[in-house]
């Protein structure tokens, strides 16, 4: 069995506490201190240590007939924070890129839900992200990964039109039925685009269940996990998960790093096992076509959009945000446009999620708000200041136009000579 390991790396720009009294008074929306603090914490616990281990594993097998390979998708917001707060993390990812055994995927720069509301913004963010990946890692992504693996037929057709060779999606049971996620598929609307599906059962064994002492398979050893993989069938075992699994979601004392360190050795005991990047997996012929009308994602047990669109607060905030897109862009104010785009990051709407909130679940992880309602109010206050700034720019432009008309009327020759 081949193995395709893909990691999502993302950090949002977290907002400051922004009250109604700040509207029109301050345009400092994002909590620089909090973002820096969290980045330093995760860099130490996860990014630097895991990257170092990945580099060791790549180099260990570099001159053998077996190769250790991995794929990453790193959001533009995470890359900016690496550059600003933790350049050593960026350098460690660049060292991985230089090995030739690491592939970087394409996604929306701001980890947004723009595919649901604005195809123009969706494409712009994808293009921005491609430029960033080329600039930092000298790679041109060939495979696309949408925010939170959000996917359906229509999206597949759009991504195929952008020239990508493959797209990632959740291997949800209600989509696959009797089929296995370990094979390559296509979507009905995009016959040229390979559909690569996450094996959520084995992925989640690492990402969510690894440290659970109540789990019947605890403790999960590299030997046991390799046996599960090599006992299965298909093109590839696709292990897709958040990179923060290592050291952050699953702490060091769970044994997660020892598990990762020994997993390749255990897998390579099977002479037919090899690691693939996502592009290499996409070279396999599709075995079947999937017809996926409704959006699916890799979030929560429902694997739908309810983590971001499950209540009136989320729907209202999202609608109002994209309603001002046209006006924001017509200002041509780079700072305003960038601030607005930072608001499109999906995390802001995830913080507004009310399902299971009282159970202390994953929706509270890294959530800076005490309640979803507090998150909504904070977001809307900032959005109202965005609207206030738009109005000021429009009014300023209208005043300038009126002044221009007066000057043309008074002395058109002088104006033309300026």
Catalytic residues: 148
SS3 277: coil
Closest CA to 23 of 336, 387, 385, 339: 385
What six digits make up the tokens of 280? 């290499």
Find the helix or strand (DSSP H, E) in which 143 lies. strand 143-144
By residue count, the chain amounts to 418
Cβ pair 113, 72 in contact under 8 A: no
* Cβ contact 66:274 at 8 Å: yes
Q: Decide: 349 and 308 in contact? Cβ < 8 Å.
A: yes
Q: How far apart are CA 173 and CA 342, in angstroms?
A: 33
- Picking from 57, 81, 60, the residue whose alpha carbon sits closest to that of residue 70 is 57
d(CA 180, CA 82): 37
5-31 core/surface letters (b: 16 or more CB in 10 A; e: else):
bbbbbbbbbbbbebeeebbeeebebbb
Q: Which of 119, 117, 139, 118 is nearest to 129 (CA)?
A: 139
For residue 286, what is the DSSP state?
P
How far is CA 199 from each of CA 33, 196, 268, rounded to the nearest angstrom? 37, 10, 20
């Amino acid at each position: 069995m081949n193995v395709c390991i893909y990691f999502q790396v993302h950090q949002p720009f977290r907002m400051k506490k922004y009250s109604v009294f700040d509207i029109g008074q301050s345009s400092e929306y994002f909590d620089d201190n909090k973002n820096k603090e969290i980045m330093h914490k995760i860099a130490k616990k996860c990014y630097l240590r895991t990257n170092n281990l990945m580099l060791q594993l790549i180099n260990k097998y570099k001159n053998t007939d077996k190769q250790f390979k991995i794929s990453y998708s790193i959001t533009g917001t995470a890359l900016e924070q690496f550059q600003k707060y933790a350049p050593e993390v960026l350098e460690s990812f660049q060292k991985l890129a230089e090995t030739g055994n690491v592939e970087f995927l394409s996604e929306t720069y701001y980890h947004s839900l723009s595919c649901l509301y604005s195809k123009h913004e969706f494409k712009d963010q994808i293009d921005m992200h491609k430029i960033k990946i080329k600039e930092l890692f000298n790679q041109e992504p060939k495979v696309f990964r949408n925010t939170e693996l959000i996917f359906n037929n229509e999206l597949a057709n759009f991504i195929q039109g952008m020239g990508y060779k493959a797209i990632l999606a959740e291997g949800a049971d209600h989509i696959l039925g009797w089929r296995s996620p370990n094979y390559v598929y296509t979507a009905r609307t995009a016959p040229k685009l390979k559909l690569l599906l996450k094996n959520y059962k084995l992925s989640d064994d690492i990402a969510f269940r690894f440290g659970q002492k109540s789990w019947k398979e605890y403790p999960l050893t590299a030997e046991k996990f390799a046996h599960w993989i090599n006992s299965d069938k298909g093109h590839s075992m696709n292990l897709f998960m958040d990179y923060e699994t290592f050291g952050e979601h699953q702490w060091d004392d769970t044994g997660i790093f020892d598990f990762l360190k020994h997993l390749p050795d255990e897998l390579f005991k099977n002479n037919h096992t090899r690691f693939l990047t996502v592009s290499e997996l996409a070279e396999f012929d599709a075995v079947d076509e999937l017809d996926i009308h409704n959006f699916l994602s890799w979030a929560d047990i429902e694997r739908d959009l309810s983590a971001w669109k499950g209540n009136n607060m989320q729907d209202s905030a999202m609608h109002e945000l994209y309603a001002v897109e046209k006006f924001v862009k017509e200002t041509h104010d780079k700072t305003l446009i960038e601030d607005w785009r930072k608001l499109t990051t999906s995390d802001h709407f995830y913080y507004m999620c009310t399902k299971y909130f009282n159970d202390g679940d994953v929706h509270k992880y890294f959530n800076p708000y005490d309640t979803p309602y507090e998150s909504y109010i904070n977001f809307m206050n900032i959005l109202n200041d965005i609207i206030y700034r738009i109005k000021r720019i429009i009014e300023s432009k209208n005043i300038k136009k009126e002044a221009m008309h007066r000057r043309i009327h008074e002395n058109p020759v002088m104006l033309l000579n300026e």
